[in-house]
């Protein structure tokens, strides 16, 4: 895997295909292999780049994992695009990856051709229950990565089985686990909340939510995102939090026609 040295670590990424760049951004926790079921199809029409956030997968982390925030994730995305001198790209981001991609489109729309936001973070109308859960997941009392992934991955496929195996092994190691908890704590910070700025997101956007996702529910967060984003349409698939891994064929059936509009011939 190629890599680039960025302020937060040596960031590894997978690359396939040619043409218009399409960047895949995974969730917390996770890594670029989470997109294994859809990357070959997307690479037929795009130059696809799927990175590992610092501290996950093969990417290193230069700071204390317990201090990493969503701001660090966002700045890593900007630094990654700068390091590779990527022109305007299409982004497919899941959860915190979707949050970072949406924020990029708000702050630097010239860098974004289009967005596919898969169960993106940042549209939760927080209450006592959601705040308490974020604090729980950000503490030593958090659900293990394997147990939580077992709750939000509703379909078993070769890709989700591999995700569950990583959740039970490498994601339980000290650095990834501390990083996971730190990011959960930062989900309560203002930088993660996109609702007030959502109207500024003008690029074409496809929202993809899972009907059975308990982490970022379609019936709450999905409705909020669809209402607040002016140029978005929403698709709800029969799955949990990671539609690209759980139901790759239905995912591609809605995503490929949308992304093809932004593919340079």
**SS3 readout for 157-216:** CHHHHHHHHHHHCHHHCHHHHHHHHHHHHHCCCHHHCCCCCHHHCCCCEEEEEECCCCCC
Where the chain has pLDDT below 70, the residues are: 265
**11 within a domain of the structure (yes/no):** yes
**39 within a domain of the structure (yes/no):** yes
**193 within a domain of the structure (yes/no):** yes
Query: How buried is 196 (Cβ within 10 angstroms: 0-12 exposed, 13-18 middle, 19+ buried)?
Result: exposed
The residue assigned the tokens 């399409």 is: 22
Tokens of 63: 């700071």
pLDDT (tens digit, 9 = 90+) per residue, 144-164?
A: 999 999 999 999 999 999 999
* Among the listed residues 197, 192, 256, 260, the one whose alpha carbon sits nearest the alpha carbon of residue 229: 197
* Domain harbouring 17, CATH code: 3.40.50.1820
Q: What is the pLDDT of residue 7?
A: 95
Q: Report the C-alpha gap between 207 and 40 in whole angstroms.
A: 21
217-224's contacts with Cβ under 8 Å and 24+ in sequence apart are: 220/124, 220/125, 221/119, 221/123, 221/124, 222/123, 224/123, 224/124, 224/125, 224/195
**139 within a domain of the structure (yes/no):** yes
**190 within a domain of the structure (yes/no):** yes
Q: Report the C-alpha gap between 76 and 74 in whole angstroms.
A: 5
Q: What is the pLDDT of residue 265?
A: 55
- Tally the C-alpha atoms within 13 A of residue 262's C-alpha that lie toward its C-beta: 25
**221 within a domain of the structure (yes/no):** yes
Residue 21 lies in domain: 3-260
Sign of the CA dihedral running 23, 218, 239, 177: positive
**265 within a domain of the structure (yes/no):** no
**42 within a domain of the structure (yes/no):** yes
Report how many domains make up the chain: 1
**Omega within 30 of 0 (cis) for the link into 191:** no
């Amino acid at each position: 895997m190629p890599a680039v040295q960025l302020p937060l670590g040596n960031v590894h990424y997978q690359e396939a295909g040619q043409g218009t760049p399409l960047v895949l951004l995974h969730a917390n926790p996770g890594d670029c292999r989470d997109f294994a079921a859809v990357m070959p199809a997307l690479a037929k029409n795009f130059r696809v780049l799927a990175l590992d956030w610092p501290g996950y997968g093969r990417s290193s982390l230069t700071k204390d994992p317990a201090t990493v925030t969503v701001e660090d994730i966002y700045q890593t995305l900007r630094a990654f695009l700068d390091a590779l001198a990527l022109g305007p790209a299409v982004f497919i981001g899941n959860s915190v990856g979707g949050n970072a991609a949406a924020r990029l489109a708000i702050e630097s729309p010239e860098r974004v051709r289009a967005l596919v936001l898969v169960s993106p973070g940042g549209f939760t109308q927080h209450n006592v229950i959601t705040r308490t859960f974020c604090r729980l997941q950000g503490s030593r009392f958090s659900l293990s990565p394997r147990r939580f992934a077992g709750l939000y991955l509703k379909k078993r496929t070769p890709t989700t089985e591999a995700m569950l195996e990583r959740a039970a092994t490498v994601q339980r190691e000290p650095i990834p686990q501390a990083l996971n908890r730190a990011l959960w704590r930062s989900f309560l910070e203002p930088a993660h909340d996109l609702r007030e700025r959502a109207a500024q997101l003008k690029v074409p956007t496809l929202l993809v939510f899972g009907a059975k996702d308990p982490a970022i529910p379609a019936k709450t967060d999905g409705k909020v995102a669809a209402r607040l984003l002016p140029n978005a349409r929403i698709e709800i698939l029969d799955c949990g939090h990671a539609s690209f891994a759980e139901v790759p064929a239905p995912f591609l059936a809605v995503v490929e026609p949308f992304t093809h509009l932004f593919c340079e011939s």
